[in-house]
Structure 1
Amino acid sequence: MSIEIKMPALSPTMEEGTLAKWLVKEGDSVKSGDLMAEIETDKATMEFEAVDEGVIGKILVAEGTDNVKVGTAIAVLLEEGESAGAVSVPKAAEAPKEQPRAEAPKQEAPAAARPAEVPAAAAPASGDRVKASPLARRVAAEKGIELSALSGSGPNGRIVRADVEGSKAAGGPAAGSAAAAPAAPVPVARPAPAGAPAKPVAIPDIPHTAEKLSNVRKTIARRLTESKQTVPHIYLTVDIRLDKLLKLRADFNAALEPRGVKLSVNDLLIKALGVSLMQVPKCNVMFTPDQLISFQRADISVAVSTPSGLITPIIAEADTKGLAAISEQMKDLAARARDNKLKPEEYMGGTASLSNMGMFGIKQFEAVINPPQGMIMAIGAGEKRPWVIDDALGVATIMSATGSFDHRAIDGADGAQLMQAFKALVEAPLGMVA
């Protein structure tokens, strides 16, 4: 029986995408893990892998097609012995009309919720034929595994070879189901997008060019609008002397030169924010409609500008990670972000954000919170300013840092304590590496 290959949800917030490029053509044989297409999601351009084996019988959605809803059939995969003539294209094309309604609520779930829900949907009803690939049936027969007891991870709950082999390794399907449960995160309610479509904008009769909005740009616009409309921001600014941090950076870079590591000021600020969040845990939080989530480590999302828009790759465990490791990881993440090669887990999540515009000479700014996080630190340029040093007027290198806080979750006094802790660590930087 032929299998519908459907538009996947390649990120937790993805509802539709652009089928940028097919990497296979009709008549090609594919197996699990083969790359089939490049899909532009709401965050990046990602490669879509096959989860079953067979022959591409029909491509239903042409490459370059925009706004393809998650769950829409995009191709048909033939099993052994089937011919392309047996494919009913109208039926395959009509199926998604009902599918998105059933699956739409799942697309609102947080990052790990979607995989955890697959087994529940895959369980066959009593008396139904078990959906499994020929290879999965052969492996199950060889191992003596009952297919009806397994949950399928393939299209439409279809059992594939990995499900059979995984159940054996894990000690049976029950163990696999139990292991999946802890992966589900705390649900986070997200505001619904505006119901009414925007009215067309009257474009002045002035020479101009027009560029179609990418999915990434649409997502940036939606999330920033959501943040400013639904999150009550409070802004707190401090001036910080950088001289000791710049001296320490120079000493570290001299010592790390044989290893080819060169720390940036931003690397040290990422570390400082991670440590300060652990010192003031009331700011390392996330607000939900009925819970306040407090995190036990600091994962810092760092704003990176790319040709397609802003993205925030994450430095996990920034509070405990070494400076050299932060520097190397940040360079790798930033390079892959600009090439649209980040994986969802590398930019989805984080407990707080840092945005540095100092390299552009920006003295001070107020950043928009990246929901559902509770705060973001905005870093301005370091500049020479008059400063009182040891009770005498002198000149020092000063930068302004502004914290934006979600006032629903973080009180002003707690935000002020975080800014004090951040300032103290930057001005006495040995404290963050001790």
Structure 2
Amino acid sequence: AVTGSGPHGRVVKADVDAAISGGGAKAAPAAKAAPAGAPAPAVAAKPMSDDQVLKLFADGSYELVPHDNMRKTIARRLVEATTTIPHFYLTLDCELDALLALRAQVNAAAPVKKTDKGEVPAYKLSVNDMVIKAMAMALMAVPDANASWTESAMVKHKHADVGVAVSIPGGLITPIIRRADEKTLSVISNEMKDLASRARSRKLKPEEYQGGTTAVSNLGMFGIKDFAAVINPPHATILAVGAGEERAVVRNGEITTATIMSVTLSTDHRAVDGALGAELLGKAQQRREPILFLLGRGG
């Protein structure tokens, strides 16, 4: 048989010429027959080589930009996550009107502080700050979901350390709000702003983005309605947050409108089964909607 060197192992003219000049194609050794009833072994698909990719494009039609260390790390971890973690997805719609009213009330009541730029509010809550808090409290309410998988044991976490995906030039990073279950909304909000700012200037310390027990990824600001995020090991869950938008809903047999946000929970099915994930997502929704609960121990 002639071995192909073209894209995806295709036989090209150069392969045929080489076989002819080498005295003809050599017969391939006969494969050993598999025992009757034995399943065929799985063969991992090999990615195309750099040369195979570049052969598909005309010379001069592209430029090569070498990968930096961050891009290589992102690629390696995503391949690890998608090939070693059995993902399971759950989607839920959340009404935001009560939460938006809460945010307006709390922000309006924020005290002012003096800075070199004058007086500014001591905090300004975002919807994402409230999602972080809601996810942290949900994990405390469903402790079996606050876990990490290892081959020898389940790691059960005592606190909710929530990573938050932040887009930065050339990639993304996930700074962590430690013990978010114990922090007020105002503390979470100010800490998140500081972490995001230093993330974009690449000034985070490793301990500020390594570890964590779950994560939140929000693409709502781009108008994305819903999506499923890839779990970031060692987490067993990640919550993908879409845009809040006005939708028609039925209440008491009548059609009205409400601000709805779709969220999708990705779980590591080894650690968080479907029913457990559904319980976690339901608790997160319950803690996102009622005003009194989200106020927690103050703004």
- Could you say which TM-score interval applies, normalised by the shorter chain? 0.7 to 0.9
Do residues 290 (structure 1) and 290 (structure 2) align?
no
The residue number in structure 2 matching 1:420 is 282
After superposition, give the CA deviation of every residue in 1:376-412 in whole Å (9 maximum; x if it has no partner): 0000000000012344210000010000000001111
The residue number in structure 2 matching 1:222 is 76
Do residues 237 (structure 1) and 91 (structure 2) align?
yes
The alignment's C-alpha RMSD in Å is 1.6
Do residues 199 (structure 1) and 61 (structure 2) align?
no
1:275–1:432 CA contact under 8 A, matched in 2:
no
The alpha-carbon distance between structure 1 residues 255 and 241, as it changes in their structure 2 partners (threshold 3 A), is same
Do residues 400 (structure 1) and 256 (structure 2) align?
no
AA paired with 1:217? Answer: R
1:160-175 equivalent positions in 2, closer than 5 A? none
The alpha-carbon distance between structure 1 residues 208 and 301, as it changes in their structure 2 partners (threshold 3 A), is same
AA paired with 1:430? Answer: L
TM (norm. structure 2) is: 0.77
The residue number in structure 2 matching 1:42 is none
Structure 2 distance, partners of 1:426, 1:390, is 22
1:316-335 equivalent positions in 2, closer than 5 A? 316-335=178-197
1:304–1:310 CA contact under 8 A, matched in 2:
yes
Identity %: 52
Structure 2 distance, partners of 1:430, 1:224, is 38
Cα deviation for residue 212 of structure 1 reads 1.1
Cα deviation for residue 227 of structure 1 reads 0.4
Structure 2 distance, partners of 1:250, 1:402, is 25
The residue number in structure 2 matching 1:249 is 103
Secondary structure of residue in 1 paired with 2:191: helix
Structure 1 distance, partners of 2:165, 2:180, is 15
Cα deviation for residue 296 of structure 1 reads 0.7
Structure 2 gaps, min length 5: 1-43, 114-120
After superposition, give the CA deviation of every residue in 1:258-314 in whole Å (9 maximum; x if it has no partner): 242111111111000000110011111000001100101100000000003110000
AA paired with 1:227? Answer: A
What is the count of residue pairs matched by the alignment?
A: 240
1:139-158 equivalent positions in 2, closer than 5 A? none
Structure 2 distance, partners of 1:331, 1:390, is 41
The residue number in structure 1 matching 2:239 is 377
AA paired with 1:428? Answer: P
Structure 1 distance, partners of 2:252, 2:109, is 30
Cα deviation for residue 433 of structure 1 reads 3.1
TM (norm. structure 1) is: 0.54
Of 126, 143, 146, which residue of structure 2 is paired with 1:264?
A: 126
Secondary structure of residue in 1 paired with 2:172: strand
Secondary structure of residue in 1 paired with 2:88: strand
Structure 2 distance, partners of 1:392, 1:317, is 42
Structure 1 gaps, min length 5: 1-193
Secondary structure of residue in 1 paired with 2:264: strand
The alpha-carbon distance between structure 1 residues 337 and 386, as it changes in their structure 2 partners (threshold 3 A), is same
AA paired with 1:242? Answer: L
The alpha-carbon distance between structure 1 residues 321 and 213, as it changes in their structure 2 partners (threshold 3 A), is same
Do residues 350 (structure 1) and 212 (structure 2) align?
yes
Secondary structure of residue in 1 paired with 2:180: coil
Structure 2 distance, partners of 1:347, 1:391, is 48
Structure 2 distance, partners of 1:429, 1:282, is 26
Secondary structure of residue in 2 paired with 1:256: coil
AA paired with 1:316? Answer: R
The residue number in structure 2 matching 1:35 is none
The residue number in structure 2 matching 1:307 is 169
Secondary structure of residue in 2 paired with 1:319: helix
Cα deviation for residue 210 of structure 1 reads 2.1
Which ranges of 4 or more aligned residues in structure 1 deviate by more than 3 Å? none
Structure 2 distance, partners of 1:359, 1:306, is 15
1:44-193 equivalent positions in 2, closer than 5 A? none
The alpha-carbon distance between structure 1 residues 197 and 357, as it changes in their structure 2 partners (threshold 3 A), is closer
1:361-376 equivalent positions in 2, closer than 5 A? 361-376=223-238
